[in-house]
Structure 1
């Protein structure tokens, strides 16, 4: 039997978060962009209502929520403050990694602070020469007695200058390729850790930037999971974050559509509401339908993850089309609201800038299409890709 409905508890959760997002977060959404500031007090506010600990086990202060419920949080918080949905996406991804792979000692030290929203955690994978190709990272972690010594640069890292700690992926055995990558929990207060922020077009409040590791001495017990097992951990985590990113974008786009529908119903042109013109109503209908289809593909992917079933191509589809459909819808809404929407007095132009950033982060459209092709076509496609890459290296 197919059931496309949320549980009663999830519906209550959805209503509560929509109210919080539109009444508490939305009014100051543009403020943080203008001030170039991450509102840590609101991150903590999300912790107070359980958002930052959704994927954290109960014994460490979380709620151990399922993935579908976590998706509801991403969508609804996206309505109010797109940048604060990172408190859903980052914490879900990092919470899963720590809860699943870290030692009990590390769980006890880090998970309560993550779940409460008291501290902010980042994930450091991307490098100047290794974005989509996560296996190509050059940051090294060298065994030196009772510590690993980290050296390298991570780039394009969300909350780079705000994070209290990072989950850092580094090469522990370069001879093993992507099987020689390990993950570490690294406090931003350790000697040798430095960061800088970028002057980005959007996602300004998230303080995206570079993190530098210069002879950073990380105690060996801060290794997450098994040595050389980091690549597998992060690849599985991408399936979750990509689904949440899609819903994060949909939330911002649906809120934009809701606001625009109210505008075109009341704004008069040639003696009648704008909404009565097909040139206005049909684009709204088109974007609504695209977002609805995308949204339910995302929830299906999250349901599959909750069932322990494969969902990689679903996640890649949602990550590819979620930001694309959402920025197209927001752009249309900006145009339908007229010249005033082009100012910074309305949130539409900021939503457009913010959503565009996630057409890049966590895998570009092309990268996700490659993932889908591998899933659909299978071994022949993977073999061709490997041989083609080998020829490029030889050339």
Structure 2
């Protein structure tokens, strides 16, 4: 283990989390992959173990630990070969809950963040729209203030935990005429009248519930506004750095998992009188993908350290997601090939891993959008600044 970033306490935490996942989660994964529903009990067990409170304040039941505990949480989730289960967990803990913690009032934190840490409540983050995609500024959903409520209308799509969550953290335009400067963030209870969800059928991430959600004259109490009205866009942009880095870390972790499995398979599989890990053509390809995975991992660790130190690493996090997800797709595709026909069989892990990995260059900002963001920063010298 890399002692530059991980202490003995980190390593003990990793062992504890790994043991927990093998005992409590792995036996149910195949069932959840088939049903598309993660049973409620596991959320509460995660809460009991403190895994949802890793980086949150002790005041609300969290552990207030450093960012490398989060890195471990993400890496270990990738090792159980269910991108959907992993996504449901980290989308709750690091998308929905991040906004609660950063922008929510004390009352909102007591009502939503504290039970999210215990696993009693599940959250989702609603930003992407059917006709918006990565164009957050082009959002159409509106929340018009009317007395002591906002009236929300619009729709969201591709929302992880979008069907079975208990509350929704949602972005909508409170002043549409002001463009991205007129956007705000709210938290809404799932059972609020006017909310309807439809479950989407996906290529991968089969265990997670990904939903399309419509909002028809939904009444949001004014106290459910998070942060300042009109500051929603910079809040979202500020947290995108964390989301992109999460997806970069996920990518290097699943690539490593695929490589580890494939190396074991190659040492056991024989052809022409010797194990296939003795053939130079395969050895050199493994050397390439392992090198690329290691380089992404080390860059991601350094970026995580800087983020944990309070630096605004939007450029580096964007690079992390862009390159790490591309690397993981290539590595897993190569690993599947090394298994030959068995790689294509559902009884072996690479088929699911390939499907799940393919979401990496799409979700949380497509690779095409990320390249344009980076081009603006590198060529046009555009600067992105944190919300004030």
TM over 0.5: yes
What residue is the counterpart of 1:276 in the other structure? 278
What residue is the counterpart of 1:85 in the other structure? 86
Report how many aligned residue pairs link the two structures. Answer: 381
What residue is the counterpart of 1:50 in the other structure? 50
In structure 2, what is the Cα distance between the partners aligned to 1:28 and 1:334?
Answer: 24
In structure 2, what is the Cα distance between the partners aligned to 1:168 and 1:68?
Answer: 28
**Equivalent residue runs for 1:245-256 within 5 Å:** 245-256=247-258
The C-alpha deviation readout for 1:129-188, integer Å capped at 9, x for no partner, is 212110110100011111101000101111111111110000000121111000000111
Contact kept, 8 Å, 1:188 with 1:194, in 2: the verdict is: no
Residue 342, structure 1, aligned to residue 344, structure 2: yes
What residue is the counterpart of 1:41 in the other structure? 41
**Equivalent residue runs for 1:171-250 within 5 Å:** 171-250=173-252
Contact kept, 8 Å, 1:183 with 1:230, in 2: the verdict is: yes
In structure 2, what is the Cα distance between the partners aligned to 1:269 and 1:256?
Answer: 21
In structure 2, what is the Cα distance between the partners aligned to 1:375 and 1:65?
Answer: 32
Q: Which runs of 5+ in 2 are unaligned?
A: none
In structure 1, what is the Cα distance between the partners aligned to 2:78 and 2:156?
Answer: 26
**3-state DSSP class of the match of 1:163?**
coil
Contact kept, 8 Å, 1:268 with 1:274, in 2: the verdict is: yes
In structure 2, what is the Cα distance between the partners aligned to 1:365 and 1:66?
Answer: 29
Give the TM-score, by structure 1 length: 0.91
What residue is the counterpart of 1:98 in the other structure? 100
Contact kept, 8 Å, 2:116 with 2:123, in 1: the verdict is: yes
Q: Which moved more, 1:221-230 or 1:93-102?
A: 93-102
In structure 1, what is the Cα distance between the partners aligned to 2:24 and 2:104?
Answer: 35
- Deviation, 1:375, is 2.5
Q: Quickly say closer, same or farther: Cα 1:372–1:68, change in 2 above 3 A.
A: farther
What residue is the counterpart of 1:285 in the other structure? 287
What residue is the counterpart of 1:393 in the other structure? none
More helix by share: 1
Q: Which runs of 5+ in 1 are unaligned?
A: 383-395
Q: Quickly say closer, same or farther: Cα 1:276–1:23, change in 2 above 3 A.
A: farther
Question: Please, what is the CA RMSD of the aligned residues?
Answer: 1.9
In structure 1, what is the Cα distance between the partners aligned to 2:370 and 2:304?
Answer: 17
- Deviation, 1:27, is 4.6
